[in-house]
Amino acid sequence: MSRLQGPSSLKRKQPESNSSSRSLTEHERILYDLIRSKQDMAIWTRDMKRETNLPDNVVTKSLKSLQAKKLIKEVVNIQNKGRKHYIAAEFEPSKEITGGTWYVEGNLDTEFINFLKKHCVKIIYEQKVATLEGILDTIRKSRAFNVEFTPQQIKEIVNALVFDNEVTEVESNGMGEFDYIPVGKVCYRCTSKGGLKGEPKKGAMASIPCGVCPQISLCTADGIISPQTCVYFTKWLDF
């Protein structure tokens, strides 16, 4: 798994000049400047045509030429997978486009998410009771991932574990196993002792996409993230 083992961080590439951009046709230059102006947000082909008023065949031909010159690249927009989006080669697409850490090439990286969930469960089990800060600190010290996680990302993973009934959210009372945690601080403990290795049993929700989705806490019936718009949930229902 490419995002496991070895420290590094998710760094966005900075814009830099490209000698290939000096030998562009007039139409290629118009499109390239437009695409580049969008920076890490990319742009849909239909929006290109609307903003430039160039004919379809000219846009198509110019885009192929720009790709061949390695000045632009096509990216997958997780919200509109059926639409072709392009970004200047010197930029990395924003998380609004790619879905962030949890997605690879527009697809939910369930293998990576499951590995991280198991890692978090192991940490919580070993610590008996753990805070988000404690979980994140242990992950960073383990150097098991080549991704630098944010507190919000770890919270999304732990929320998914709570939803899947593998982990329980509790508040510290400052006594016993909570003696090192401030009173009222939200923390987490495993719901069961599990198997021989001390890992909690797999929850019932883990068999559906919701069980591994770190965005589950943001999923609502009428929100941007919802069961109605989730392609993974739809595929699971069809199956």
32-51: pLDDT as tens digits: 999 999 998 999 999 999 99
Token pair 């919701």: residue: 210
Q: What is the pLDDT of residues 63-99, one digit of tens each?
A: 999 999 999 999 888 877 788 899 999 998 887 787 7
Q: CB–CB of 117/157 below 8 Å?
A: yes
Q: CB–CB of 91/13 below 8 Å?
A: yes
Q: What confidence category does residue 210 fall into, taking pLDDT thresholds of 50, 70 and 90?
A: low
Count of beta carbons in the 10 Å neighbourhood of residue 182 = 10
Query: Which of 66, 68, 86 is closest to 76 using CA atoms?
Result: 86
Q: What sections of the chain are H helices per DSSP?
A: 26-37, 45-52, 56-68, 95-98, 110-127, 132-142, 151-163, 231-238
* Yes or no: domain 19-98 corresponds to CATH 1.10.10.10: yes
Rounded to two decimals, the pTM is 0.55
Does the structure show a pLDDT above 70 at 231?
Answer: no
DSSP string, 200-231: PPPPGGGGSGGGT-TTGGG--TTSSS-TTT-H
Q: Output the pLDDT for position 19.
A: 56
Compute the half-sphere exposure of residue 69: CA atoms within 13 Å on the CB side of its CA: 20
Extents of the domains making up the chain? 19-98, 102-238
Tell me which of 162 and 200 has the higher pLDDT: 162
Q: Output the pLDDT for position 8.
A: 34
3-state SS class at 102: helix
